[in-house]
Structure formats: C-alpha cells, structure tokens
Amino acid sequence: DGGITQSPKYLFRKEGQNVTLSCEQNLNHDAMYWYRQDPGQGLRLIYYSQIVNDFQKGDIAEGYSVSREKKESFPLTVTSAQKNPTAFYLCASSGDRGSGANVLTFGAGSRLTVL
C-alpha cells in the first residue's frame, strides 16, 4: 500500500531540546510538505520541497529546519528556537502538478508536546 508514514505519533520534549519528526513516502511523489495544526488556526505551512536537495520556507518556518536528501524522505527538526512547538504536525506529498491536480496526500500526523 502506498502512503505516507510519520513517526513518532506522539513525542514529548523538554524545553531547549531539538527533536526530529520523520516523514517517509512511497508514492514516488516529487513534492513534500510540512504543516502545523493548532486549534482554531487550521493548517499552516512550515516548509515545502518540490524536488530533492531543494526546499523553501513556508509561512511559519522560524524555529524549524528540514532536509531533502532523498525523494522518499523529508524530516522536520523542531529546534529550541521555536517558541511554541506544542502542536500536531502533518506531512504531505503531491505528485505531478502538470496534470492540473494539486491534491496533497497526508500522513497520520505527529503530536509534539513540550513539557
């Protein structure tokens, strides 16, 4: 079954620690995205990558970092510089935009709680 796997599903972090959230896809999609969900604010874009070895900041990139060394993988690091890291993090991917479709497929999410 093709899909997106996020891990861990739940993560607790002490203040001042960096944590890395994993995102792996086997859909052969070129583009991958990280969103953050907070109550009442919908999904906000953190970073996205349209191709391997390239990525761009989204609307709320401060305090986060990413890498895209492989097509299948797009890990997100939440650094100690992120002031309010407690949230539900969603990874997504999308295929060929040339077809006119811009449908993102999402993983199941990772909930990060800062203690």
Partner 1 sequence: DQQVKQNSPSLSVQEGRISILNCDYTNSMFDYFLWYKKYPAEGPTFLISISSIKDKNEDGRFTVFLNKSAKHLSLHIVPSQPGDSAVYFCAASSLIGSSNTGKLIFGQGTTLQVKP
**Where along the sequence are the contacts to partner 1 (CB under 8 A)?**
4, 6, 31, 33, 35, 40-45, 48, 50, 56, 58, 88, 90, 92, 94, 97, 100-109, 111
Cβ(24)–Cβ(4) below 8 Å: yes
Report, in Å, the least distance between residue 86 CB and partner 1. 15
Query: What is the Cα–Cα distance from 6 to 56, expressed in whole angstroms?
Result: 20
Report, in Å, the least distance between residue 80 CB and partner 1. 26
Report, in Å, the least distance between residue 31 CB and partner 1. 5
**Minimum CB distance to partner 1 smaller for 80 or for 105:** 105
**Minimum CB distance to partner 1 smaller for 15 or for 104:** 104
Query: What is the Cα–Cα distance from 45 to 77, expressed in whole angstroms?
Result: 14
What residue type is assigned to position 78 of the chain? Answer: V
Report, in Å, the least distance between residue 55 CB and partner 1. 11
What residue type is assigned to position 42 of the chain? Answer: G
In sequence order, the β-bridge partners of residue 22 are 7
Cβ(89)–Cβ(106) below 8 Å: no
**Minimum CB distance to partner 1 smaller for 9 or for 17:** 9
User: 64-66 and 10-13 as β-strands: parallel, antiparallel, unpaired?
Assistant: unpaired
**Minimum CB distance to partner 1 smaller for 16 or for 98:** 98
